[in-house]
Amino acid sequence: MPDEQTLEERLRQQGISRRGFLKFCTAMASLMALPPTMATAIAESLGKVRRPSVIWLSFQECTGCTESLTRSHSPTVENLIFDAISLDYHHTLQAAAGTAAEAARETAMKENFGKYLLIVDGSVSTKDNGIYSTIAGTTNLQMLQDVAKGAAAIVAVGTCAAFGGIPHANPNPTGAVAVTDIIKDKPIINVSGCPPIPVVITGVLAHYLTFGGLPELDQYNRPLAFFGDSIHDRCYRRPFYDQGKFAKSFDDEGARNGWCLYELGCKGPTTHNACATAKWNNGVSFPIQSGHPCLGCSEPNFWDAGSFYSALSTTTAPLGVWSGVAIAAGAAAGLAMGAAARHKRTLAKQAHHVVTVEELKKKEEQS
Amino acid sequence: MNELLNNGELMHAIDSGELRPSAQVLALLRELQVMITTLAERGEPNSIDIRSLPLSPSDYETLIQILGNGEVNATINALGLSKIKETRFSGVWWLQHLNSHDEIIAELIEVTPLPDILKTQAPDLINSAEVLQRYLEKLQPPN
């Protein structure tokens, strides 16, 4: 449950110095793609945070997103982030089970109504009223609608929660949709990827804790700090693309020389994610560095966008375009409702105290 | 960090054409040049987040070789180690922050007379006075 102590007070009790906290905030600034000089300002702001309640709902998913987060390469940072929040419900990680677990969720919802952060991984089954995926006898659809009511904001973690993901892929037997297809009146941030890069998940949480609001988002509600550039833009093999040097097969001279994988089906040019800079496995590598084209897993409908091994120009369906159930659900909801929902979203955002980067900078200059 | 070239060896590697940095590394060095001048003329510090740059492993090695070692080397032990050194260019510092599992969580180049993380932080000073006070209350003079 949330308590009244600030993060800084709790860290001090654990014997963590301000210098240690500043170091952590330097890592946070790096995670949030903010200038390193912001570390001091982040320390000031984050130090005063009181633990918000977090409810994590897992729907039609493979637990890969939770695996990604908990296997993340900087345990110290993750521990501190988990220390900064009160994770009141996560059915894979929590000790309680069955009725006790659901009671914990209901208590957290009641005590922190309007203030808790809701994290969702997995898509939501809508066909036949969502009976294809249930938890404790409640459909995912119903649970999402119930829990979203009291949420200050929602983070959709992983491509399934953000865009429907693999359950949404053709023929989509369960009528799987994204969180944004169901919830229209709350600020929602999509952290896509199959799974998302762990530091991107923690970076978004850190941003929420530091600034008290959502970061700047792209057209798919993804944080621009991590999804602003395409893989192609940040790829160290980009100079080979510009020189027209391409690998034509997985074992030719071009592949051995580390040339561009565009002709082998790399979706880097149409995929927005931080893999090329944040990388995976302790920053060791990312798919392209290991010699495999990017699959485009952080984009909508990546599973149905043609072969992973056809060059982009030969795919028939353009990537990054909503289709199927997502559009149908959106159309049913209607455009007029969209405008009302946007207004509600703005109100929800206003109710939440938000600090801007400029304010933080000003504070930093004053100190 | 690896065995690094001294000033003479670096000059030789550059003159002989043995060391040929990529366009990315050259751009970064030019940016550092501007930052050093800004610090010298206006006293404004600056920094670069190395992990935000699309450097290949060999670019990274080249950058480390060119910046090399300078006069200061420091280690901080707070939530894991931090390795901090001044490079061969005075005022250009290389900072590596590790977690308790010795994995790098942040890596920066700072252009400053002294990186902030090396300074004692104000809340730690207050705490330090309190802790010393507690010791003083308990310490007993020799019999």
pTM, rounded to two decimals: 0.76
Give the residue from A93, A167, A63, A162 showing the smallest Cα distance to A125: A167
Q: How confident is the model at residue A301 (pLDDT cuts 50, 70, 90)?
A: very high
Q: Compare A92 and B76 and report the one with higher pLDDT.
A: B76
Identify the closest residue of chain B to A20 by CA–CA distance: B78
Burial class (CB in 10 A: 0-12, 13-18, 19+), A330: middle
Does the distance separating the beta carbons of A75 and B100 come in below 8 Å?
Answer: yes
Name every residue in B having a CB less than 8 A away from some CB of A: 22-24, 45-49, 51-56, 59, 76, 78-80, 82, 97, 99-101, 103-106, 108, 110, 116-117, 120-124, 127
Give the residue from A204, A200, A202 showing the smallest Cα distance to A188: A204
Does the distance separating the beta carbons of A75 and B99 come in below 8 Å?
Answer: yes
Identify the residue among A30, A79, A286 best suited for mutation to test binding to B, counting B beta carbons within 10 A and taking the highest. A30
Tokens of A157: 């973690």
Residue A79's pLDDT is what?
A: 66
At A131-170, the pLDDT tens digits run 999 999 999 999 999 999 999 999 999 999 999 999 999 9
The strand ranges marked E within chain A are 53-58, 86-90, 116-121, 124-125, 134-135, 138-139, 151-157, 176-177, 188-191
Q: Compare B57 and A71 and report the one with higher pLDDT.
A: B57
Give the residue from A210, A200, A190 showing the smallest Cα distance to A356: A210
Does the distance separating the beta carbons of B59 and A30 come in below 8 Å?
Answer: no
Q: Which residues of B41-79 are buried (b: 16+ CB within 10 A; e: fewer)?
A: eeeebbbbbbbbbebbeebbebbbbbbbbbeeeeebebb
Is A354 a residue whose pLDDT tops 60? Answer: no
- Half-sphere exposure (CA, 13 Å, Cβ side) for A140? 27
In terms of phi and psi (left: phi > 0; alpha: psi -120 to 50; beta: otherwise), the region of B80 is left
Is A225 a residue whose pLDDT tops 60? Answer: yes
Share of chain A above pLDDT 70, in %: 80
Q: Compare B95 and A9 and report the one with higher pLDDT.
A: B95
| Chain A residues near residue B110 by CB distance under 8 angstroms | 36
At A18-33, the pLDDT tens digits run 898 888 888 888 877 7
Residue A44's pLDDT is what?
A: 84
Q: Measured between alpha carbons, how far is B88 from B97 in angstroms, rounded to an integer?
A: 20
Is A178 a residue whose pLDDT tops 80? Answer: yes
Is A323 a residue whose pLDDT tops 60? Answer: no
Does the distance separating the beta carbons of A37 and B106 come in below 8 Å?
Answer: no
Q: Compare A348 and A61 and report the one with higher pLDDT.
A: A61
Low-confidence ranges of chain B (pLDDT < 70): 1-2
Three-class SS of residue A294? coil
Q: Measured between alpha carbons, how far is A366 from B6 in angstroms, rounded to an integer?
A: 41
Give the residue from B118, B104, B119 showing the smallest Cα distance to B51: B104
Q: Measured between alpha carbons, how far is A236 from A308 in angstroms, rounded to an integer?
A: 21
Does the distance separating the beta carbons of A17 and B78 come in below 8 Å?
Answer: yes
Q: Measured between alpha carbons, how far is B88 from B52 in angstroms, rounded to an integer?
A: 23
In 3-state terms, chain B is what percent helix, strand and coil (to 5)? 45, 20, 35
ipTM here: 0.86
Q: Measured between alpha carbons, how far is A141 from A177 in angstroms, rounded to an integer?
A: 10
Token pair 């207050």 is at which residue?
B126
